[in-house]
Structure 1
Amino acid sequence: METRVEKIQLNESGDITVEAELSNGMRKKFHTDAVILALPPRLVAKHIEFSPSLHLNLTTDIVKKPTWMAGQAKVVAVYDRPFWRELGLSGYVLSAVGPLEEIYDASPIKGSGALFGFFGMPPEARKKMGQDKVLKLVVDQLVKLFGSEAKNVKAIFYKDWSTDSETTVEEDLSPLKNYQSYGPLPVEGMWGKKIIFAGTETNSDYSGHLEGALLSAEKAVAEIINYRLKGVR
């Protein structure tokens, strides 16, 4: 949508004004009865101003919820064909050496081959080394695992979310330890029934997965419908 929400204001009348910046630098205001926030909670805390301010308990809970996989990077190496299968190899790897700690065969049913991997290398190490050196280490690892033909990479796709300001905040660069922090956010007081948090981080059962995002979306929409049926504004 090429729109960045910067401020959400609860007016005395009970309606909400959302202020946003468009991709062309222009600003626009939207008026509504309630808002569903589907971005990671920490990005809400970093990028959106609330007036009046959110309750301290809510703000504290928001910043405690790590953005799932925000410090991770992934890579896909594409080949003319899945040559490792000819060697009787599945393409599945778990490595304590790295730089990729998990590798999977991501090849289509026919045609080219692809190996997909998660990094075990910390964000700080990737940043210090630089993308070119990181990708060289990736290819070197694939050669060690699958033979010299792994050098013949047709294309390589690399995404480091730890460098993406639209995904990651500084706190997300530390290893994820507290899985118990995921779940619904306690929106109370004047903001109750006015802002609803959705997204995989707000689901207790499937946090970090697409199921969690979908379930949280269904829950948020159900809440909005319920408020409207009850005539809540």
Structure 2
Amino acid sequence: MNSCKVAVVGAGLAGLYTARALHAAGVDVLLLEGRSRLGGRILTVDDGGTPSDDGFDLGPSWFWPEMQPAMAELVAELGLDSFIQHSTGDVVFERLSRERPQRFSPAYENQQSRRVSGGTGAVVRALAARLPDERIRLGTQVTAMALRHDGVELSLRRTDGHTEVLLAEHVVAALPPRLLGASVAFSPAQDSATATRWRRTPTWMAPHAKFFAIYDDPFWRKDGLSGTAQSMVGPMVEIHDSTTKSGRAAFFGFLGVGADQRKSVGEVALKQACIEQLARLFGQAAMSPRATLLKDWAADPFTATADDRTGGDHPTPVSSRWVSGEWEGRLVMAGSETSPSEPGYLAGAVVAGKQAVADILTRLEQK
């Protein structure tokens, strides 16, 4: 049976941060990821949807340095550049379908969001570069965990269909609690209160879909528009300028259409409706994007469960324990949703990862 001191399940930001830090501390760590790529809900792609080192963030893209110092410190530590989210110009508001959209000048706040140059995927690449390739296993899904006297036995299923077993002294679950509970069979089972709490914790991004329209230039800026819009008509309810640091012009918007309706309408019709909405809000130039992208996170089995097809609430920070009973000494939770601050956000993933590292190192020192 293969073995390691610590198995980290999930190679999103929290998992990568945890694995990198444990490896730097000299711990025998193995990072397991069901997807064929790193990053989890962080996904930066080019016009065609292929992962890129200078593209558009289909997942999270913003952080607020003053409110989220953990993320700002990580960006600085990794030597990455960031830039202020473009918000100069008027905002457009669409209230009713029978009324013309209105534009107004907003009162700006001091807290401005920033984006990582090249996309949030730059953080993923920088963290991964600090881990040896042999410490990362992609295309490897954890399907079950069984508690033993000497650790945790993990059942693994690879993309090619092969299965294997891994023994880890400790496990860090860097997954959203709801996804962990739905995708991994535990023996013994988690107690009912823990299982219920995991299931009731919403996974940020899971119910949502993001649409991107990419253009040759940010024409809306010439018209004195910021690229920000809010709509009560839809299909997008919130729209922002998503132009990259290198100048690749784009809008992105969150769809206000539920997951089941998105599925029934279909991607082609949804994209067309989004383009027509952009034209209503920003002018006819928006009718001719160079490319479009649509990422429906509710259709991603490594992000969403059946419980995520409705809702969309943001997780709230809590201080009580995420693991109890027999599993408390072997399993540590590190998904962003479990963070005591900024849960669900990029910063929450960093904070949760830091806590997991401190917890694991304390446990190892006590042995």
- The secondary structure found in structure 2 opposite 1:63 is helix
**Deviation of residue 125 (structure 1)?**
1.8
SS of 2:153's equivalent in the other structure is strand
How many pairs were matched up? 230
TM-score (ref. length: structure 1):
0.93
Provide the secondary structure at the position in 2 that maps to 1:34: strand
Structure 2, unaligned stretches of length 5 or more? 1-137
Which whole-Å deviations, capped at 9, do the CAs of 1:44-76 have from their partners, x for residues lacking one? 111111111112221111111111121100011
SS of the residue 1:204 aligns to:
coil
Q: Alignment partner of 2:278: what SS?
A: helix
Name the structure 1 match of 2:350.
Answer: 214
- The question of whether the paired residues in 2 share the 8 Å contact of 1:185 and 1:197 is answered with no
- 4+ long deviations beyond 3 Å: 109-112, 176-186
Residue 291 of structure 2 corresponds to 155
Distance in 1, matches of 2:288 and 2:280, equals 13
Say if 2:199 is the partner of 1:63: yes
1:204 Cα offset (Å)? 2.9
> Equivalents in 2 of 1:123, 1:10: separation in Å?
36
Taking structure 1 as reference, are residues 58 and 77 closer, same or farther at Cα in structure 2, changes over 3 Å only? Answer: same
Verify: 1:112 aligned to 2:248, yes or no.
yes
Offset of 1:89 from its aligned partner?
1.3
How far the C-alpha of 1:185 sits from its partner, in A, is: 4.1
For the Cα contact (< 8 Å) 1:64–1:181, is it kept in 2?
no
User: Which is helix-richer, 1 or 2?
Assistant: 1
1:80 equivalent in structure 2:
216
Aligned-residue identity in percent: 33
Are the structure 2 counterparts of residues 50 and 110 from structure 1 closer, same or farther at C-alpha, using a change threshold of 3 Å? closer
Whether 1:5 aligns to 2:176 is no
Is the Cα–Cα contact under 8 Å of residues 8 and 18 in structure 1 kept in the other structure? yes
Equivalent AA in structure 1 for residue 355 of structure 2: K
TM-score, normalised by the number of residues in structure 2: 0.60
CA distance in 2, matches of 1:132, 1:71: 19
Alignment of 1:67-216 (within 5 A): 67-177=203-313, 179-180=315-316, 185-216=321-352
Q: Distance in 1 between matches of 2:173 and 2:286?
A: 43
Q: Secondary structure at the match of 1:60?
A: helix
Q: What letter matches 2:159 in structure 1?
A: S
In structure 1, runs of 5+ residues without a counterpart are none
Q: 2: distance between equivalents of 1:186 and 1:109?
A: 39
In 1: Cα distance, 2:246 partner to 2:140 partner: 39
Q: CA deviation at 1:29?
A: 1.4
Letter in 2 for 1:6: T
